[in-house]
Every structure is written in C-alpha cells, then in structure tokens.
Structure 1
Amino acid sequence: MNLEARKIEFVQEFLKLQSEEAVSRLEKILRKEKQSDKERNIEPMTQDELDNRIDKSESDFINNRFKTSPELLAKYE
C-alpha cells in the first residue's frame, strides 16, 4: 500500500473515532511530528554566519549591551 492510500485509510478511520481522548492523543502526536519536521529542516550556519554572530556578540558585550542571568530570570518570575 502506498503512502497516499495509507493516509486516506487513516483519515477514514480517524473520522470514525468517537473518543475525544483518542482525538486529543492523535492531535498531540501530529503536533509533535510537525515540530520534529521543522527541527529536521533547520539549516546549519555557515562558518561566516557563525563568525559574524560571534563578532557581534563580543561587540555587544564590550559595549555593555547585554543582560545578566539574574536580570533575565527576574523578568520571568
């Protein structure tokens, strides 16, 4: 059975479900899969992008453009 046929069969079975709990579990699985797909499609930085980010971070630190850990934690408490 090819993927398209399997998806159609799955949707047909899904539509027959009467349990809200089962639908919720399947929704959770679908959200998790979508998130995993996004994470798998993340492109790594090039060496130049990484170097530029490091340079900017060092510049921000030297010019006092940063927040300390306690400042960040206080913001979310």
Structure 2
Amino acid sequence: MNIEARKIKFVQEFLELQDEEAITKLESLLSLEKLESGKSNSNLLDKKELNKRIEISEEDFEKGRFKTSQELLLKYQKVNL
C-alpha cells in the first residue's frame, strides 16, 4: 500500500472515531511530529520575540518585580484550603 492510500485509510478510520480521548491523543501526536520535523512553528516564538521577553523578564527581576516560588506556593495553598 502506498503512502497516499495509507493516508486515506487513516483519515477514514479517524473520521469514524467517537472516543474524544483517542482524538486528543492523535492530535497531540500530530503536533509533536510537526514540531520534531520543523513543519509547524505557528505556536513557537521567533527568536526576536523570545529575546524581547527575556529582556523584559530580566528587567523585571532587577527591579524586584517578581514573586518567589515560596510566595507562589503560599498563595495557591491558601486558595485550595
């Protein structure tokens, strides 16, 4: 069976699925495969945007605009009580 026939068979079987968990797993697998093959960058930040976010984070840290992990843990422990 050639690749085109395999894809058609896969799509037909996929369309018959009724289990939402199975569909979610297949979506995740497809996303992972796209990321690994470099074919999907729609959800990835480009280098320029990533560097800008790093600069902002570093500036926030230098100016004391952050919370420690202990502060965050205490905050969310209070919420869950």
Normalising by structure 2, report the TM-score.
Answer: 0.48
Determine which structure has more spread, i.e. the larger CA radius of gyration. 1
Normalising by structure 1, report the TM-score.
Answer: 0.50
